[in-house]
Amino acid sequence: MKTMEWDETEPIIRKFYVWQNQPEKAWFQKAWKALHEAGLNSYDTDIDRHWVIIRGAALGVMYNDYCDLEWDEYSDSSGCVSELFWEEAINHLRIGAMATDWIDPNGDDAHSLFTDAVLGLVAEVRLPIYNALLASFGDTFLLYAGLWGSRSEGTDQDNLETLADTLFDQSGFLRKGNPDAFAYVNVSAMTAKDA
């Protein structure tokens, strides 16, 4: 069994970076570690390898959805996925074969079909990714703190308790941040295709 390491997936995830100096890279590295801990970045076959790539893209889509809710920082997930069309590590025919259940090969041009296929596959993997993130971060409060802190350079993604204490009071009420963004994390909306 092989494992896709961070440096192999970072070119995929980079397409989803939102901030100029890329402070979110630390969050993505911790998230990728969460997938590793859950066995979600391991593969035996080329199909399995492409599923790992899809999980990397899913992290990006989920992060972009969060940024849109938290800071009204619009990100076009379809546009980001569209950029993956030119990644050498991705075989278009493989992606098409993986998405045969919901893609009409006679529909659009190859680029549009690819984008639709990847977005459909991303929807399939969001729940296991969400569960892996919760297991690794510890709970929804710490996952939210990690996401909230991802916009700032130097946020220690491995020690989020202090940051979480500034965001939530002792009863778990959100003091700082956007309630819609917290709901996205807290009520499993991260698992939805169009959050």
Structure tokens at 82: 């569209």
pLDDT digits (tens, 9 = 90+) for 16-45: 999 999 999 999 999 999 999 999 999 999
Task: Say what percent of the chain tops pLDDT 90.
Answer: 84
What pLDDT score was predicted for residue 190? 80
Neighbours of 10 (CB within 10 A): 15
Strand partners, 3: 42
pLDDT above 70 as % of the chain: 97
Residues 96-100: contacts with CB under 8 Å, at least 24 apart: 98/47, 98/50, 98/51, 98/54
Q: Is 120 a residue whose pLDDT tops 90? A: yes
Q: What does the pLDDT average to over 95-114?
A: 83
Average pLDDT, integer, range 93-98: 93
Per-domain boundaries in the chain: 2-191
Label residues 94-123 b or e (16+ Cβ within 10 Å = b): ebeebbeeebeeeeeeeeebbbbbbbbbbb
Looking at per-residue pLDDT, the higher value among 164 and 195 belongs to: 164
pLDDT, position 102: 72
Residue 107 pLDDT: 67
pLDDT band at 195 (very low <50, low <70, confident <90, very high): very low
Give the pLDDT band (50/70/90) at residue 193.
Answer: very low
Evaluate if residue 94 carries a pLDDT over 60.
yes
Could you report the per-residue pLDDT of 134-185, keeping only the tens digit for each? Answer: 999 999 999 999 999 999 999 999 999 999 999 999 999 999 999 999 999 9
Average pLDDT, the chain: 93
Residue 168 pairs in a beta bridge with 174
* pTM, two decimal places: 0.94
Q: Identify the band that residue 106 occupies on the pLDDT scale cut at 50, 70 and 90.
A: confident
Residue 194: pLDDT over 70: no
